[in-house]
């Protein structure tokens, strides 16, 4: 069973549309959803949780169709952290805990309190006095405290300082030690996704350009830094995109399988790959 299955989803909103979105997140894996602002990441998340109805196509989560009545039960198994939607700001952490205890069947108050402690969150302060990072931490604490099988995280690490971010990524990593636990995480912070994810899905202007195993992606490409003439020696199909330094040098993303053996290629980062792919798409 796949944790998430989106097939041929179309949704249009006037000036923006999601076209033919097909995304599968196998159970037990972590999928990173990448894309620039406005690419459709939050929309995709709303579509897959049934908060938005698609114009056409199917979405299913944990094996259940999102538009069916049974999906209500499945929401018990999904922990959600959203980018701009929170608990009403006049609430505090204790009150949220009490509300969630009556909302979710498998609410674990002890686990919630442990997270509040671990994240250093004040129990009685109202959310309107929380920083963005604190709000995120609280949302994460809530999402993890009802024994979910799937975590859906929209920019969950933005606004966190690097030390806490690392800790949170660790928690997410640990979450998937169980083989039926999965995560879909959308983020701008590509370095986070690189550490954490099994798959990287790249959304660009409403279209999914690719969804690939992160490690294979990193194996597929290499970075070449050399003179423009050298780069010109390569097959045009091999060069995904290039950026000139203005002094005769070029930095290019190259497909390893199409580059001759002699060339020294550097290991790319996910960020490199995405940036070059976008560049390449633009020039085409």
Partner 1 sequence: MKALMMKDTYVIWKQMKFFLVFIVVFASIPSSFNNIFAIVYAAMLPYSALAYDERSKWDQLAAMMPYTTRDLVLSKYVFGWLCIAAASVVSQGIQLVLSIFWKDAQFSLTFSLLAVCCGICIMSITLPLMFRFGVEKGRLTMFLIIFLVCGSAGAISSIAESAGRGTFFAFQEPALIAMLATAVVLSIVSVPLSMKFYSQRQV
Partner 2 sequence: MELIIRNTTNQPIYDQIYTQIKAQIISGRLQPGDALPSIRALAKDLKISVITTKRAYDELEADGFLYTVAGKGCFVAEKNLDLIREKQLKELEDHLAAAAALAKTCGVSREELHEMLRILLEEEL
Least separation in angstroms between residue 224's CB and partner 1 is 44
Instruction: Give how far the C-alpha of residue 187 lies from the chain's centroid of Cα atoms, to the nearest Å.
Output: 5
- Least distance in Å: CB of 148 to partner 1? 11
Out of 15, 37, 56, 90, which residue is the one contacting partner 1 (CB under 8 A)?
90
58 binds partner 1 per the rule CB under 8 A: no
Among 22, 38, 53, 178, which residue sits at the site for partner 1 (rule: CB under 8 A)?
A: 53
**Which partner from the list partner 2, partner 1, none does 265 bind, CB cut-off 5 to 8 Å by kind?**
partner 2
Q: Which does 219 bind (CB under 5 to 8 A by kind): partner 2, partner 1, none?
A: partner 2
Nearer to partner 1, 90 or 283 (CB): 90
Judged by CB under 8 A, which of 2, 24, 99, 176 binds partner 1? Answer: 99
Query: 190 with 271: CB under 8 angstroms?
Result: yes
Residue 189 engages partner 1 in binding (rule: CB under 8 A): no
85 binds, among partner 2, partner 1, none (CB under 5 to 8 A by kind): partner 1
Task: Give me the helices (H) in the chain, please.
Answer: 41-48, 71-74, 93-103, 109-118, 132-144, 162-175, 190-196, 214-220, 228-233, 270-283
3-state secondary structure of 258: helix
User: How would you list the strands of the sheet with 2-13, edge to edge?
Assistant: 16-26, 2-13, 56-61, 64-65
Sign for the CA dihedral angle at 130, 79, 53, 31 comes to: positive
Q: Could you tell me the smallest distance in angstroms from the CB atom of residue 228 to partner 2?
A: 24
DSSP one-letter code for 53: -
* CA–CA separation, 281 and 208 (whole Å): 13
Q: Which residues make up the interface to partner 1 (CB under 8 A)?
A: 46, 49-53, 72-73, 75-76, 78, 80, 82, 84-91, 95, 98-100, 102-104, 127, 152
């Amino acid at each position: 069973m796949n944790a998430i299955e989106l097939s041929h989803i179309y949704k249009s909103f006037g000036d923006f549309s999601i076209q033919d979105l097909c995304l599968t997140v196998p159970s037990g894996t972590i999928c990173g959803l990448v894309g620039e602002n406005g690419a459709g990441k939050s929309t995709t998340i709303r579509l897959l949780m049934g908060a938005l109805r698609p114009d056409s196509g199917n979405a299913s989560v944990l094996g259940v169709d999102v538009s069916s009545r049974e999906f209500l039960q499945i929401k018990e198994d999904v922990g959600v952290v959203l980018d701009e939607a929170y608990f009403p700001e006049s609430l505090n952490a204790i009150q949220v805990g009490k509300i969630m205890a009556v909302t979710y069947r498998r609410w674990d108050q002890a686990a919630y309190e442990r997270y509040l402690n671990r994240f250093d969150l004040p129990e009685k302060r109202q959310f309107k006095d929380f920083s963005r990072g604190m709000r995120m931490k609280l949302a994460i604490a809530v999402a993890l405290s009802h024994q979910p099988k799937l975590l859906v995280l929209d920019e969950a690490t933005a606004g966190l300082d690097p030390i806490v971010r690392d800790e949170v990524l660790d928690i997410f990593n640990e979450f998937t030690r169980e083989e039926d636990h999965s995560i879909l995480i959308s983020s701008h912070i590509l370095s986070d996704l690189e550490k954490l994810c099994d798959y990287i899905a790249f959304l660009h202007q409403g279209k999914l350009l690719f969804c690939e195993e992160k490690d294979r992606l990193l194996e597929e490409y290499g970075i070449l830094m050399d003179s423009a003439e050298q780069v010109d020696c390569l097959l045009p199909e091999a060069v995904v995109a290039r950026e000139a330094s203005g002094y005769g040098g070029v930095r290019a993303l190259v497909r390893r399988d199409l580059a001759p053996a002699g060339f020294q290629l550097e290991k790319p980062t996910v960020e490199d790959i995405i940036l070059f792919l976008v560049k390449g798409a633009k020039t085409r």
